[in-house]
Amino acid sequence: MATYILADRKDQHAKTQFAQVFGFFSFGDFIHEHECLHTIKATAPTFSGTFPSPAVDAPLATSKAEQTAVLAGGCFWGIEAVFEHVKGVKHAESGYSGGSTATAEYETVSSGSTGHAESVRITYDPSQVTYGQLLKVFFAVAHDPTQLNRQGPDTGTQYRSAIFYANADQKRIAESYIKQLDQAKVYSSKIVTEVVPLKTFSEAEDYHQNYLVNHPNEPYIVYNDMPKLAALSKQLPELYKGQ
């Protein structure tokens, strides 16, 4: 059987082609009816062995509080959905970081000329989950940090891998963890994730928020993002929370 690969999320022709070929938009139905999941290969991080925890991390806080982390790793739909399922995360918002607030608008950002990266702002309770644990999720299941200026089918600097740190502790933890993962050769290729200061975060348009929840059967979501949630549950069960 031929392998059908969906193009990027804006390629409506590819989505329509998928529906025409398989007769439905539900990937779950596709698996059930055709039993050929092996013909569809989603992009996912490739690493060997158990994924290591960060050697340098902040301790769990002694009381409830709110802190934020801003991460970029390709299309924000999947990143947001992954972190909404992480213990200790209160909410995650899709948005834009790395460019001017004046040009933080989807169609403009999609040109790749504004300096923005599609990003997610994660609000979490540091008494339940640490910044380093959030980075573990980011590197282990949320995206592939070895892909430069792309993520799976989506290409351009707006889809780059980046950590936007808010303070010196976040910078220290992020840089140390990347060095640790590279030295351990966790991936077959070098990590290309940028570690840069957070200047601004602009929320994305309303229709981008909770996109996976609102469009669970869209082919792009099923193909690219549902496997990330499955990987989170299977590989990092101690950090996974259901809805």
For the segment 89-143, what is each residue's pLDDT rounded down to a tens digit? 999 999 999 999 999 999 999 999 999 999 999 999 999 999 999 999 999 999 9
pTM of the model: 0.84
Give the active site residue among 75, 92, 129, 204.
Answer: 75
Per domain, the residue ranges of the chain are 48-214
Element (H, E) at 91: strand 89-97
Residue 5's pLDDT band, with cuts at 50, 70 and 90, is very low
Mean pLDDT of 62-86: 98
Mean pLDDT of 42-53: 70
Percent pLDDT > 90 in the chain is 78
pLDDT reported for residue 22? 38
Q: Which fold has domain 48-214?
A: Peptide Methionine Sulfoxide Reductase; Chain A (3.30.1060)
- DSSP type of residue 153: T
Q: How far apart are CA 153 and CA 159, in angstroms?
A: 10
Is residue 219 over pLDDT 60? Answer: yes
Quote the crossing angle between the two packed helices 76-84 and 226-235, to the nearest 10°.
30
> CB 198: neighbour CB atoms within 10 A?
19
Element (H, E) at 229: helix 226-235
Q: How far apart are CA 24 and CA 44, in angstroms?
A: 24
199 vs 31, 100, 147, 166, CA distance in Å?
44, 9, 24, 8
| pLDDT per position as a tens digit, 150-194 | 999 999 999 999 999 999 999 999 999 999 999 999 999 999 999
Q: What is the pairing mode between strands 161-165 and 194-197?
A: parallel
pLDDT reported for residue 242? 83
Is residue 66 over pLDDT 50? Answer: yes
Average pLDDT, rounded, for the chain: 86
Percent pLDDT > 70 in the chain is 79
In 3D, which of 95, 94, 34, 85 has the Cα closest to residue 231?
85
Answer yes or no: are the C-beta atoms of 18 and 222 closer than 8 Å: no
Answer yes or no: are the C-beta atoms of 160 and 114 closer than 8 Å: no
Q: Is 36 a residue of the active site?
A: no
Three-state DSSP class for residue 57: coil
